[in-house]
Amino acid sequence: MLARQLTSGLSAEEALVLAGKVIDFYAKNAKKADRMGRLIERVGMEEFARAVLS
């Protein structure tokens, strides 16, 4: 899968909060030299979405 939409219609402030959650998720779960796509493939899209959209 090349891309998947997580959400839509966010305000600028909400988008910044979401971006921060994505960065935090990456920092806590990525292995050395992991790319975001590889991380999401490993943990699963549902787990990723659950973590960043909560």
Is the residue at 1 inside a domain?
no
Q: What is the pLDDT of residue 1?
A: 57
Q: What is the pLDDT of residue 14?
A: 96
Is the residue at 3 inside a domain?
no
Q: DSSP states of 16-48 as a string?
A: HHHHHHHHHHHHHHPPTT--HHHHHHHH-HHHH
Q: What is the pLDDT of residue 17?
A: 97
pLDDT, tens digit, 9 for 90 and up, residues 3-53: 789 999 999 999 999 999 999 999 999 999 999 999 999 999 999 999 999
Domain count, the chain: 1
Q: What is the pLDDT of residue 2?
A: 64
Is the residue at 49 inside a domain?
yes
Give 14's Cβ-side CA count (13 Å radius): 8
Q: What is the pLDDT of residue 48?
A: 97
The backbone torsions φ and ψ at residue 16, rounded to the nearest 5 degrees and listed phi first, read -65, -40
Task: State the residue range of the domain holding 34.
Answer: 12-53
Q: What is the pLDDT of residue 3?
A: 79
Is the residue at 47 inside a domain?
yes
